[in-house]
A = this chain, B = another copy of it.
């Protein structure tokens, strides 16, 4: 067992654990870290590959993605930010602009947090979102069709280019994830189970398998560069055969590509891959 899993096992004793967020009394609470050297490198900023505004924006989107995958609408955010003392007022303004743009784009309010000085830029965000119909990881039914939205692989390519010091496109999904909020909220009543793809499809399928106690029968081959691309923030979901047509129509309306690739069966699924986050 890796150390992250070991630690999580130590403190997890709540029925609310195990999903992208914790659903309590109409609200979903989710929290994610976005740290320099772990989620981004300061060289990328210096090289002009990503701006501080984009970093702040992405740190928010990563968190909003959890809310959407549970069919919840972000209402409030708390931001804890550790900032190097070398940052200028302009750089601080850029960061603030990124957070504020996300709050505007997704219509929520920044209600608090903590600001401290640090050696590097480290962001932690808590999103409080609202839903009347939370969707969990544990509700995949035997016979469900398994699907992901959009196109996978771009984020991994983006990361690899950045790590080689190469330029990447401004609209790379690694810099600006495409969240499927409008599609998913509308389709939610036909969805049985869901989560966002943050660690890569293979690893996230393993989590879905454990949560729902099911295995998968693949009817499409998933290539390694697709299945191991993390930080995609597309949605992985399951639905019954009878709802597929309705979901497809909603997807068409919102111009979201759907990829059905497996059916839920008795058994379990092991990915054989480990977490994609690069180590230092």
- List residues of chain A with CB under 8 Å of any chain B CB: 3-4, 6-8, 10-14, 16-17, 21-22, 24, 29-33, 35, 37-38, 76, 78-83, 85, 87, 89, 92-93, 95-97, 99-100, 109-119, 122, 124, 126, 128, 277, 279-280
Contacts and interface: CB of A to CB of B under 8 A. Distances in A.
A117 B80 contact: no
Given A29-B111, A38-B117, A22 B76 contact: yes
A111 B128 CA distance: 13
Q: How many copies does the complex hold?
A: 2
Contact of A11 (B3, B35, B99, B118): B99
Nearest to A38: B116
Contacts of A7: 81, 83, 92, 95-96, 115
A79 B37 CA distance: 20
A34 to B, nearest CB: 9
Given A92-B6, A116-B38, A31 B82 contact: no
Q: Nearest 5 CB-CB pairs, A to B? A: A10-B96, A124-B124, A22-B111, A16-B111, A31-B78
Given A11-B99, A112-B16, A114-B31, A3 B80 contact: no
A89 B3 contact: yes
A69 B12 CA distance: 28
A85 B3 contact: yes
A21 B89 CA distance: 26
Contacts of A78: 22, 29-31, 126
B99 A279 contact: no
A80 B124 contact: yes
Given A35-B118, A38-B118, A116-B277, 5 more contacts: A4-B115, A7-B92, A10-B93, A29-B78, A114-B124
Nearest to A37: B119
A10 B113 CA distance: 13
5 contacts: A3-B117, A8-B115, A11-B96, A13-B100, A35-B116
Contacts of A122: 35, 82, 118, 122
